[in-house]
């Protein structure tokens, strides 16, 4: 039995005609994933599903070695996803230009953890009262914040907040952020698409995660409800992982 208990769900929201998000949980592998696809008339849902499947296949094929260097293993999975989406887009003109975000979290049994991501699907860690975003959005707004041209609050309301600087599948190669994560004091992790974070403030997210501690299905339902109540402008996807009570 692993030390973590997880649940994930997705909702189309109130305004979109299709759900272009994808997610996956593999408790045995200790891997959790969210992808938020983008394309023209079609392609976004193909991109996120293709990326999810390619990443999972790569992670499962390398499962025995994953704990040796988890950040590198997650990065390899995202590179494989990039190749799969890029290849599929090249084969079908209707899918040309499709891409996706991809965020991966690995939680080992001995307290080790790692994350890797491309795009703006976030990973948060809850330590007691404190919610910390452990990913950095690959958006134009975040780049402006990093360079000191915009505050994070301004970025939150800026159109540049949705413009990605990186995506999985857009080019033959992709730059991946991959890093070890300190999970020693973590009570929970959340992976989510921007359909949540665009609609619900971080303090409200933290309050929901604290309020449903130990019940990831209830936390997911409450987060989706909050995104819909907040406007439901986009597809919304959440994966919640709680440390199991001992």
CA distance 65 to 78: 16
Specify the residue, 221 or 234, whose C-beta has the smaller distance to Ca ion.
Answer: 234
Site mask for Ca ion (CB under 5 A), range 122-161, x = bound? ----------------------------------------
Q: Is residue 194 involved in binding Ca ion (CB under 5 A)?
A: yes
Specify the residue, 5 or 51, whose C-beta has the smaller distance to Ca ion.
Answer: 51
Structure-block tokens of residue 144:
């402006």
Q: Restricting to residues 48-67, which ones interact with Ca ion according to CB under 5 A? A: none
Rg of the chain taking only CA atoms, in angstroms = 17
Tell the smallest beta-carbon distance from residue 156 to Ca ion (Å): 15
Q: Is residue 45 involved in binding Ca ion (CB under 5 A)?
A: no
Site mask for Ca ion (CB under 5 A), range 206-235, x = bound? ----------------------------x-
Structure-block tokens of residue 108:
């080992």
Task: Give backbone dihedrals phi and psi of 84, rounded to 5 degrees, phi first.
Answer: -65, -45
- Count how many Cα atoms sit within 13 Å of the Cα of residue 190 in the half-sphere of its side chain: 34
Q: Is residue 36 involved in binding Ca ion (CB under 5 A)?
A: yes
Tell the smallest beta-carbon distance from residue 194 to Ca ion (Å): 5
Tell the smallest beta-carbon distance from residue 51 to Ca ion (Å): 14
Residue with tokens 């200790």: 30
From residue 84, how far is each of 51, 67, 103, 104, 180 by CA, in Å? 7, 24, 16, 17, 25
* β-sheet bridge partners, residue 131: 126
Specify the residue, 86 or 122, whose C-beta has the smaller distance to Ca ion.
Answer: 122
Specify the residue, 177 or 234, whose C-beta has the smaller distance to Ca ion.
Answer: 234
Tell the smallest beta-carbon distance from residue 69 to Ca ion (Å): 31
Tell the smallest beta-carbon distance from residue 59 to Ca ion (Å): 23
Choices 22-30, 57-65, 106-114, 186-194 (CB under 5 A): range interacting with Ca ion: 186-194
Specify the residue, 177 or 194, whose C-beta has the smaller distance to Ca ion.
Answer: 194
Tell the smallest beta-carbon distance from residue 128 to Ca ion (Å): 30
CA distance 151 to 168: 27
Specify the residue, 45 or 177, whose C-beta has the smaller distance to Ca ion.
Answer: 45
From residue 60, how far is each of 54, 55, 66, 113, 190 by CA, in Å? 10, 9, 9, 17, 22
CA distance 9 to 28: 19
Tell the smallest beta-carbon distance from residue 165 to Ca ion (Å): 15
Which of 59, 132, 103 lies closest to 192 in space, CA to CA? 103
Q: Is residue 11 involved in binding Ca ion (CB under 5 A)?
A: no
CA distance 60 to 6: 18
Which residues would be at the binding site for Ca ion (CB under 5 A)? 36, 193-195, 234
């Amino acid at each position: 039995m692993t030390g973590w208990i997880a649940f994930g769900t997705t909702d189309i929201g109130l305004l979109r005609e299709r759900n272009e998000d994808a997610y996956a949980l593999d408790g045995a592998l200790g891997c959790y994933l969210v992808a938020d696809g983008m394309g023209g008339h079609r392609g976004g849902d193909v991109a996120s599903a293709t990326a999810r499947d390619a990443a999972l296949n790569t992670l499962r094929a390398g499962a025995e070695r994953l704990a040796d260097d988890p950040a590198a293993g997650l990065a390899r999975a995202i590179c494989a996803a990039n190749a799969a989406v890029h290849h599929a887009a090249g084969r079908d003109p209707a899918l040309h230009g499709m891409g996706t975000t991809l965020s991966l979290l690995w939680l080992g049994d001995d307290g080790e953890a790692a994350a890797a991501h491309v795009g703006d699907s976030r990973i948060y860690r809850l330590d007691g009262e404190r919610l910390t975003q452990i990913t950095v959005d690959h958006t134009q707004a975040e780049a402006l914040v990093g360079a000191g041209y915009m505050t994070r609050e301004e970025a939150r309301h800026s159109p540049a907040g949705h413009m990605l600087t990186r995506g999985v599948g857009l080019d033959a190669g992709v730059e991946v952020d991959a890093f070890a994560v300190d999970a020693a004091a973590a009570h929970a992790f959340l992976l989510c698409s921007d359909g949540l974070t665009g609609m619900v403030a971080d303090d409200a997210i933290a309050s929901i995660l604290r309020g449903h501690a130990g019940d990831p299905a209830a936390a997911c339902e409450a987060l989706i409800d909050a995104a819909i109540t907040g406007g439901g402008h986009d597809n919304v996807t959440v994966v919640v992982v709680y440390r199991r009570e001992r």
